[in-house]
Amino acid sequence: SPLHDFLQGLPKCEHHAHLEGCLSPELFFQLAERNGVPLPDPEANPAYASVATLKERYKNFTSLDDFLVFFFQGMTVLQHEQDFTDLAWTYFQRAHRDGVHHAEVFFDPEVHRERGIPYETIVDGFSKGCRRAERELGLTTRLIMCFVRHLPVSSAEKVYDEFISARHFEAGVVHGLGCSSTEIGPPKDMYRELYAAAAERGIPLTAHVGEVGDPTYISAALELGVQRIDHGIRLVDDPELMRRVAREGILLTLCPLSNVLLRCVPSLEHVPVRRFLEAGVKFSINSDDPAYVGAYILDNYCAVQEAHRLSVAEWCVIAENSVRGSWIGDSRKAELL
Ligand code: HPA
Ligand code: ZN
């Protein structure tokens, strides 16, 4: 796009990338081999025949839940601390090339723990990748632990207790809590107690809502004390709630190409970027699961520009809101502004 160089050079903050969503089909097969992890039976699941067939399948997700099956299957090849470090480091290098100066990334400890990987292995592995990015790339990072709504609350409680016992928030190892996975079905307030306990400790909170769920999922998350909303595109269906989100300065972390690929919207034009700008709703633009979507953050910036033709001034508003909405101190914000 004509603004490609400008968008590349714009100092970006990423707030919505799942580290497990950075596992490419190539790395999936490599790690499966290296770790002796059995692949899904290609008879039953022909997508897993080769890198090429898996890549092709990733272009044809039919819904969020269809994607999640592949996303959780992908994770099974992550076994050792080094695997988690390698995955994070690979992402940060790419983000750095895309002009990202600060990255807040999600990870799903419950899912790894459920298949026998200790909490410490997961967090130590990912946080080593974060520290390397800070040291070698000058990229600041934040790890956000995501609860997954397809598992019972008791599973979330277990990782929360480990996180508290390890004092990982106080130590600046894990900086916030979120929740993700399937949206429609589980109770909207399933993390009420956990979010209340975390809020009491001053832990920043976010939630994946309004990706496929109606605005009542968004208001339920606000009621649980989130400062941020991941996706939240369905906010446009409730103008009153949209005014409240604008007034309270809640940041939406939009993932436009993910929304198209998972068929949450029919096309990029339906990601309500302009409606949010006009309503004064703050948002950042992010990649979500770049290795599954086949697009990283700069691809998302460029695709939004192609579809919505924003002005340089509008891009500056987006970039500035991304810095101000980051979970970093004022001195780092000042460096990024
Ligand atoms: N939505 C819900 N759960 C997820 C997503 C998402 O976009 N990516 C990874 N887990
Ligand atoms: Zn997400």
If one residue of 15, 64, 145 were mutated to test the ligand 1 pocket, choosing by the most ligand atoms within 8 A of its CB, it would be: 64
Provide mean pLDDT across the span 7-33: 97
Strand order in the sheet with 206-209: 206-209, 228-231, 251-254, 283-285
Q: What is the mean pLDDT of the chain?
A: 97
* Strand 140-148 versus strand 176-180 pairing type: parallel
Question: Whose CA is closest to atom 7 on ligand 1?
Answer: 288
Whether 94 shows a pLDDT value over 70: the answer reads yes
Helix 119-137 vs helix 153-165: angle between axes, to the nearest 10 degrees? Answer: 60
Q: What is the mean pLDDT of residues 66-86?
A: 98
Q: pLDDT value at position 42?
A: 84
What is the SS3 assignment for 7? helix
CA of 61 to the centre of ligand 1 (A): 13
Q: What totals of helices (H) and strands (E) does the chain contain, helices first?
A: 17, 8
Domain region containing 165 = 4-336
In tens, the pLDDT along 165-211 reads 999 999 999 999 999 999 999 999 999 999 999 999 999 999 999 99
Output the pLDDT for position 313: 96
Residues 208-223 have a mean pLDDT of: 98
For residue 200, count CB atoms less than 10 angstroms from its CB and return exposed for 0-12, middle for 13-18, buried for 19 or more.
Answer: exposed
More confident site: 124 or 41:
124
Which tokens sit at 52?
């090429």
Across 8-12, 40-44, 250-254, least confident range: 40-44
Binding-site residues from annotation for substrate = 289
Q: What ipTM does this complex have?
A: 0.97
Total domains in the chain come to 1
Mean pLDDT of the region 8-36: 97
Query: Average pLDDT of 308-335?
Result: 97
**Residue among 319, 335, 328 at smallest CA distance from 12:** 319
**pLDDT on residue 43:** 87
pLDDT value for 1: 62
Ligand 1 binding pocket, CB closer than 6 Å: 18, 21, 64, 71, 180-181, 208, 211, 258, 288-289
**38-42, 48-52, 244-248: segment of lowest average pLDDT:** 38-42
**Catalytic residue ranges:** 211
- Helix, strand, coil percentages in the chain from 3-state DSSP, rounded to 5: 55, 15, 30
Q: φ, ψ for residue 105 (rounded to 5)?
A: -125, 145
CB atoms under 10 Å from CB of 57, counted, come to 18
pLDDT digits (tens, 9 = 90+) for 115-152: 999 999 999 999 999 999 999 999 999 999 999 999 99
Closest CA to 233 of 204, 262, 201: 262
Choose among 155, 201, 198: nearest CA to 178.
Answer: 198
Regarding pTM above 0.80, the answer is yes
Task: Please state, in angstroms and rounded to a whole number, the distance separating the CA atoms of residues 147 and 302.
Answer: 31
Q: What is the distance between the alpha carbons of residues 215 and 218, in angstroms, rounded to a whole number?
A: 5
24 contacts 50 by C-beta, under 8 angstroms: no
Q: What is the mean pLDDT of residues 237-265?
A: 98
Q: Is the pLDDT of residue 311 over 90?
A: yes
End-to-end Cα separation, the chain, in angstroms: 25
Q: Of the bound ligands, which one is closest to the alpha carbon of residue 209?
A: 1
Closest ligand 1 atom to 18 CA: 9
Residue 20 CA: which ligand 1 atom is closest?
9
Mean pLDDT, residues 277-290 taken together: 98
**pLDDT band, residue 44 (cuts 50/70/90):** confident
Rg, the chain, Cα only:
19
> How far apart are alpha carbons 328 and 262 in whole angstroms?
31
The domain that contains 57 carries what CATH number? 3.20.20.140
What's phi and psi for 307, nearest 5 deg? -80, -35
Read off the pLDDT band of 71 (50, 70, 90).
Answer: very high
Looking at residue 103, its pLDDT comes to 98
For residues 60 and 262, the answer to whether their CB atoms sit within 8 Å is no
